[in-house]
Amino acid sequence: MDVVIGPVRVLGDRVLLTQLVGNLIGNAVRHNVDGGRLRVRLDDDGLHVANTGPVVDPAELPALFEPFRRGPRRTGSADGGAGLGLAILTSITRAHDGEVTARARPEGGLDVRVALPMSTARISTP
């Protein structure tokens, strides 16, 4: 897993934002292929999570963010998810005046970006 985190400050409810991050990363892990890669990046453009999961038809992307909709399963997966993770993520993002975008990767997997309003306060780095 690659993790790149820059100093950013998001405006919002700590509990809901923690759930948002957990849902996004948990979903990417659950729908990754065995031995696949997961990339997490946080910068001024938002939270980006990409995995190397099964191929997703770009036409099916909007449905993945609806309640009880699930994407393609990886081979041999016994994932018993309810199909709520991305729907909850979308709801939390919209409640914070943010946006979710997703792109299907031709080789398999998704790139998902969550953009939320940022604080204008200065952040000092060590």
Q: Which domains does the chain have, with CATH numbers?
A: 2-115 (3.30.565.10)
pTM value?
Answer: 0.80
What's the farthest any 2 CA atoms get from each other in the chain? 47
pLDDT average, residue stretch 70-94: 74
pLDDT average, residue stretch 22-50: 91
Whether residue 71 has pLDDT greater than 70: no
pLDDT single digits (tens) 91-103:
999 999 999 999 9
How far out from the chain centre does Cα 93 lie? Answer: 11
At 11 the pLDDT is 78
Confidence of residue 123 (pLDDT cuts 50, 70, 90): very low
Whether residue 124 has pLDDT greater than 60: no
Residues 6+ positions from 81 with CB-CB distance below 8 Å: 27, 30, 70
β strands within the chain, DSSP E: 2-5, 38-43, 46-51, 99-104, 110-115
Positive/negative CA dihedral, 114, 115, 116, 120 = positive
Q: How many CB atoms sit inside 10 A of residue 78's CB?
A: 5
- Which three-class secondary structure state does DSSP give residue 28? helix
CA–CA gap between residue 58 and residue 105 (Å, rounded): 9
pLDDT average, residue stretch 34-47: 89
Percent of the chain residues topping a pLDDT of 90 = 44
